[in-house]
Amino acid sequence: MNSKLLPLSLLAALCLGSAHAQKTTSSGSTFSAAGKKAKVFATAANTELRLSAGEDLAFQPTGQPLETQVCVFVYPKNTFQTMLGIGGALTDASAETFAKLPKPQQQEFLKAYYSPTAGIGYTLARTTIHSSDFSSGSYTYVADKDAGLKTFSVKHDEQFRIPFIKQAMAAAGGKLTLYASPWSPPAWMKDSGTMLRGGKLLPQYRQAWADYYVKFIKAYEQLGIPIWGLTVQNEPMATQKWESCIFTGEEERDFIKGYLGPTLQKGGLGNKKLIAWDHNRDLLVQRASAVLDDPQAAKYVWGIGYHWYETWTGSAMLFDNVRRVHEAYPNKNLIFTEGCVENFKLDRVNDWALGERYGMSMIGDFNGGTVGWTDWNVLLDETGGPNHVGNFCFAPIIADTKAGKLIYTNAYYYIGHFSKFIRPGARRISASSNRDVLQTTAFRNPDGSLAVVVMNQTDKPLDFQLWIDGQAAKTTSAAHSIMTMVL
């Protein structure tokens, strides 16, 4: 990794505490910016700034702001959801691509994502239950028509994916919050007779399919990979050309309460976090209602997962739907389970819009009440794959496997403005801007430090004041930039 782009001093001056060692600051606790300085880290278009440290900001007493003064206001006393973590998916495609890299680039990659000091400190991960489109081909863990699952084995994953996950865990300090998602039951369990192109789970295999999740979790845990949670079905309303399976809201509800929930409990896995929906924000409110309005289903569900691909309809990202679910079901959790930029082209790896899509989504999702945010593939090759149906996409880091080098898109740095400075156990606090061109969110970390993220997607720089309870510091948001201020 270019040390010029990731200075060694990136966090040397910060003392961000462990989420496990310190208690989260409770609502109503005091915080004063008086006499303090904020450390500034910035990434900006048409510059060499990439998570780069800038000059500290000094706070001064400031009276009532005028409407002509551009401000980002932060109120640490107003606290909201607690951060679970930020990370990306450890897929077959990522694992296979990783295996093709020379050892030095493998170590560079692991450090870049999982080191909280030299990298961006990922703490959350997703993986697949057998194949997805981002595999080299379709496969399952059982023999054809084995409804008793006597042949169940994850041996396929031992070649690439399991060693890859173990190395990511080690690079993250030995612990990674990992959850798993299925794209389709085996073909013989479905009315369509194929894992691809949608279809539905046959009623006679509901119990066998529920047992399959338990087998997967136990197999991975026996191999030293703890599974924190699982989603019921990836994108249950999409008939895709790759592995896919349709569940209506009522069908997902009934599968949870009649089969999957009780089967997890019976298998001694009742502590695993079960996530419903796992599809786009467009139907988020409807699906949450279908599942969570039934107490017998809701009791098994930790939260609702969602993706950002509602934009395929021409819609903007529907952050209000995230907020509506949080308002309606405040005792359940929201987690972003997948997002990537589609239609990969190698000549677009320096496109600045890649990162801005991440920044906009993460700010909107966190402000809507989301507790965890998971990118899709952490690594893909120079084709945007491997993908066995040609659905090639971008990842924050692309491996040029022919040259044996890593290409960092600006999406990597944009995500890092959150994952590096907002740690597990952090509480979101009130942050707002008096100009729509400055998007912002803020968190208070377990050690008491504040991290305020500000993004500017316009072509013009904008001077503003970071205002905290009568104390303010002057700074500038560069054109097409994101900055994190820590104090």
Secondary structure, 3-state, 209-277? HHHHHHHHHHHHHHCCCCCCEEECCCCCCCCCCCECCCCCHHHHHHHHHHHHHHHHHHCCCCCCEEEEE
> What is the amino acid identity at position 125?
A
DSSP class of residue 350 equals T
Residue 207, classed as helix, strand or coil, is helix
Residue 338 bears catalytic tag = yes
**Per the residue annotation, which of 108, 235, 252, 310 is the catalytic one?**
235
CB-based contacts of 291, cutoff 8 Å, min separation 6: 249, 252, 253, 256, 276, 277, 297, 298, 301, 304
Pairing of strands 52-53, 37-44: antiparallel
First and final CA of the chain: distance in angstroms? 27
Q: Which two tokens stand for residue 240?
A: 């895709």
The token pair that represents 183 in the structure block? 């794209």
User: CB-based burial of residue 389 (10 Å sphere; 0-12 exposed, 13-18 middle, 19+ buried)?
Assistant: middle
Distance, in Å, from the CA atom of 360 to the CA atom of 358, rounded to the nearest integer, reads 6
d(CA 311, CA 46): 27
> What is the DSSP-derived secondary structure letter of residue 34?
T
Report the distance separating Cα 140 and Cα 340, nearest Å. 25
Task: Report how far apart, in Å, the C-alpha atoms of 261 and of each of 205, 214, 272, 330 are.
Answer: 15, 11, 10, 21
The residues near 305 (Cβ < 8 Å, ≥ 6 apart) are: 231, 275, 276, 277, 278, 334, 335, 336, 337
Of 96, 243, 338, 356, which one is the catalytic site residue? 338
- DSSP-derived 3-state class of residue 58: strand
Q: Does residue 108 have an active-site annotation?
A: no
Amino acid at 307: H
280's tokens: 């786009």
Residues 6+ apart with CB under 8 A from 2: none
Q: Which residues are catalytic?
A: 235, 338
